[in-house]
Amino acid sequence: MTTDVHRLTVVTGQEGDEAARRRRRILSVLAHAALIGASILMLYPLLWLLAASFKPEAQIFSTGIWPSIEWSIDSYFRGWNGLRVSFLVFFTNSFIIAFLSVMGNLITCSMAAYAFARLRFRGRNFWFAMMLMTLMLPYHVVLIPQYVLFRELGWIDTFLPLVVPKFLAVDAFFIFLMVQFFRGIPRELDEAAMMDGCSPWRIYWKIMLPLSVPALVTTAIFTFIWTWDDFFAPLIYLNRMQNYTVMLGLRTFVDSTAQSDYGGLFAMSVLSIIPIFLFFLIFQRLLIEGIATTGMKR
């Protein structure tokens, strides 16, 4: 019976193939057309923002949905100094906070992950389960007590409430990510080192970390992007404009556009997403793999 089926497809194959191939080609062209259309629609707002930031002030809205022929970078200069404090200060602050957050997460999350993935101690499974529970916890439940605590410590209007938690491994997500990665490293490596009398600290430092560069890079990139984008925590903890991050600077800019310097606002918006965009260009593959394998939300 199987030979019958086989012969049947062979007989009808000749002209059937031709038609099927043509149909497949038409379908493929249609699919590409749909995808290209969708890409343009999706990216259009971003391109419009970029174009608007280079339009002369008078043409931003008069040229409508089209790019203007004239262009200028005046908006960037106006925007940069558009507030009482220069955007240079905001960018510096954002970089300091993001850099320290990345360091904190890299050091303390990898330490915790190493303990959970490799070391044996009483209560390990219990604490691991506790760590997983904190993954699901909405930040809002701890928000007010943390605010009260940091206020008592005199940390309001400093970077400390934004940075110190990262040095206490509160981003359980990255612990989980690194635990998964560490488990994939052959156990023979650290067991051999242990037999040779290597201490857990040396194993962590000389074996685990060098072998985990992809997980560390993923952690660093996502920590950077999330702290760079973070709006809620800086909004709550930073008061004086000298301490503002870029996101807070932008928000102040929106609120003060009574004088409506839209060009400046758009220019600063573009600048604020450039660091993330650069990460996207350079580490695109790593970001996409990170999402595909761990199911990060963005």
Partner 1 sequence: MTAPVESAAASSQHAAAAPSIWSRAWSNHAPGYSFLVPWFIGFFGLTIGPIIYSFYLSFTDFDLLTAPRWTGADNYVRMFTNDPRFAAAMRVTFFYVLFSVPLKLAFALSVALLLNRGMKGLPLYRALFYLPSLLGASVAIAILWRQIFAGNGIVNQFLTFIGVFGPNSLTGMTAPSWLSNPNYSLWTLIVLSIWQFGSPMIIFLAGLRQIPQDMYEAASLDGAGRWRQFWKITLPLLTPVVFFNLVIQTIDAFKSFTPAFIISAGSGGPINSTLFYTLYLYNEAFSFFRMGYASALAWFLLALIACFTAFSFLTSKYWVHYDD
- When asked if residue 154 is in the footprint of partner 1 (CB under 8 A), the reply is no
- When asked if residue 26 is in the footprint of partner 1 (CB under 8 A), the reply is no
Q: Which of 143, 213, 278, 282 is the binder for partner 1 (CB under 8 A)?
A: 143
Whose Cβ is closer to partner 1: residue 96's or residue 194's?
194
Q: Which of 26, 88, 149, 213 is the binder for partner 1 (CB under 8 A)?
A: 149
- When asked if residue 77 is in the footprint of partner 1 (CB under 8 A), the reply is no
**Sign of the torsion formed by the C-alpha atoms of 276, 282, 288 and 290:** negative
Q: How far is the CB of 170 from partner 1 (least distance, A)?
A: 5
Whose Cβ is closer to partner 1: residue 7's or residue 187's?
187
Q: Which of 11, 14, 19, 120 is the binder for partner 1 (CB under 8 A)?
A: 120
- Contact stretch for partner 1 (CB under 8 A) within 10-18, 46-54, 78-86, 88-96: 46-54
The span from the CA of 163 to the CA of 97, in Å, is 6
Contact in structure between 108 and 168 (CB atoms under 8 Å): yes
- Contact stretch for partner 1 (CB under 8 A) within 10-18, 44-52, 81-89, 91-99: 44-52
> Hey, what are 14's tokens?
């000749």
CB under 8 A, 24+ apart: contacts of 290-297? 290/177, 290/218, 290/221, 290/222, 294/176, 294/177, 294/180, 296/173, 296/222
- Contact stretch for partner 1 (CB under 8 A) within 78-86, 88-96, 160-168, 176-184: 160-168
Burial 116-141, CB ≥16 within 10 A → b, else e: bbbeeeeeeeeebeebeeeeeeeeee
Q: Which of 185, 198, 241, 276 is the binder for partner 1 (CB under 8 A)?
A: 276
Q: Which of 7, 22, 124, 206 is the binder for partner 1 (CB under 8 A)?
A: 124
Of residues 88 through 117, those in contact with partner 1 by CB under 8 A are 107-108, 111-112, 114-115
CB under 8 A, 24+ apart: contacts of 132-138? 132/172, 132/176, 134/170, 134/172, 135/172, 135/173, 135/176
The residue type found at 75 is: S
Q: How far is the CB of 250 from partner 1 (least distance, A)?
A: 5
> Hey, what are 137's tokens?
């916890």
Q: How many CB atoms lie within 10 A of CB 243?
A: 18
- When asked if residue 146 is in the footprint of partner 1 (CB under 8 A), the reply is yes
- When asked if residue 19 is in the footprint of partner 1 (CB under 8 A), the reply is no
- When asked if residue 278 is in the footprint of partner 1 (CB under 8 A), the reply is no
Whose Cβ is closer to partner 1: residue 223's or residue 272's?
272
With 0-12 / 13-18 / 19 or more C-beta atoms within 10 angstroms meaning exposed / middle / buried, residue 230 is middle
Q: Which of 89, 251, 256, 286 is the binder for partner 1 (CB under 8 A)?
A: 251
Whose Cβ is closer to partner 1: residue 99's or residue 147's?
147
